[in-house]
Structure 1
Amino acid sequence: MDATKKSDETTIPIRESKSGKSNYAPTIVATTKATDEAKGGWRRGVAIFDFILRLCAIAAALAATTTMGTTEQTLPFFTQFFQFQASYDDLPTFSFFVIANAIASGYLVLSLPFSIVGIVRPHVVGVRLLLLICDIVMVALTTAAASAATAIVYLAHNGNTNTNWPAICQQFNDFCQSVSGAVVASLIAAAIFMFLVLLSAIALKRN
């Protein structure tokens, strides 16, 4: 019981003047419990916001994965020997995009229990540090996939006359709209990952 009081309370002795008759020295007790509770409430609020952001990132990453992975278009006109079709797996960049966002989606789902631990036990530093490291890796992965896919989408919309790359979106309009939406969703997921990294860094610094 004494050890607990020493950790939570600070005793400040005050000497009595010489003119006083009593030898009793009053004390003022300054407690730190209120400060600890305030810090714990702030950390719990950050952990709750972290959990909400992860749910939003799951939605964005899954939307990017499913949209790109199910994108294909076949033109209505074809001949006996040729059929004009566009699919995401025709380009290795789009295949990498699907794999990267699928990995990010799986990681986000697995990170939810750790985020809940941060809500229940806001003083635990190890969980926050683990999520920070993994989030940094996911930032690099999703940013690389989204950036590479953005370059291909740009060429599909505008083409490049120097390299004889035609603007295929003039024919495959539905295909281009789907892959463009997937890229936007992936960029949103990458932005959320960046914010999660910033949030975790601030929380660890305040510890």
Structure 2
Amino acid sequence: MASLEAKFPQNPPLKTQKLVLGAQIGLRILTVSFTLAATWVVLTSRQSTMAFGIPVDARYSYSPTFKFLAFANAIVCVLSVLSLLLVFFLCHQGSNPAKFYYLFLHDLSMTLLVLAGSAAATAEGNIGRYGNTHSGWMPVCDYVGKFCNKMTTSVILSYLAFACLVMLTILSASNCRLIQV
């Protein structure tokens, strides 16, 4: 048992705590930036054009999947701002393992939410870009390319936010482990 305590000290060194805190703050700011940008790109994406003499209007609000992407990113953005405030509060409050466990659960749920929105939009975007010959669906990005490119940008930003949230989840989990042992 003594060797286990030697490997994992009760309180990590102050330099390690500051490094973890700096990484959490930086990743949370990146998450807010990526999700805010992704939400803005989705909400402002629209294009009107003519295809075969028929007016075609593409908007995010016409697709439940793209609405879900926009709302998932907006929710994660707001919750990331709140978690950033919580991290500042925790650094002044002291290290309580229960608080870091709740932060871990918070980060994990946000990770899953942004992943769900990104994956759904990726699937629908793939059909829009390439169509589905088995179902008889034609690709529409040939006609509304500007809209498709904006949605692709939003999905990429969402996946970048997902990567930041995965790193935050790992940091939160390791922070719980360091303090609880």
Unaligned runs of 5+ in 1: 1-34
Question: Structure 1 residue runs of 4+, over 3 Å off?
Answer: 35-38, 76-79, 118-122
Unaligned runs of 5+ in 2: 1-8
Contact 2:51 2:143 in 1 (8 A): no
Higher helix share: 2
1:64 maps to which of 27, 30, 38 = 38
Structure 1 residues 9-158: aligned runs within 5 Å: 39-75=13-49, 82-121=54-93, 123-158=95-130
- The alignment status of 1:167 with 2:139, answered yes or no, reads yes
Identity level (%): 28
TM-score norm. by structure 1 comes to: 0.76
CA RMSD after TM alignment: 2.0
Kindly name which structure, 1 or 2, has the bigger radius of gyration based on alpha carbons: 1
Structure 1 CA distance for aligned equivalents of residues 21 and 11 of structure 2:
15
Structure 1 CA distance for aligned equivalents of residues 174 and 69 of structure 2:
30
Aligned length: 171
SS of the residue corresponding to residue 84 of structure 1 reads: strand
Going from structure 1 to structure 2, the CA distance change for 1:121 and 1:45 (only over 3 Å counts) comes to farther
Contact 2:12 2:178 in 1 (8 A): no
Structure 2 CA distance for aligned equivalents of residues 188 and 38 of structure 1:
30
AA of the residue aligned to 2:86:
F
SS of the residue corresponding to residue 138 of structure 2 reads: coil
Higher relative contact order (CA 8 A, sep 6+): 2
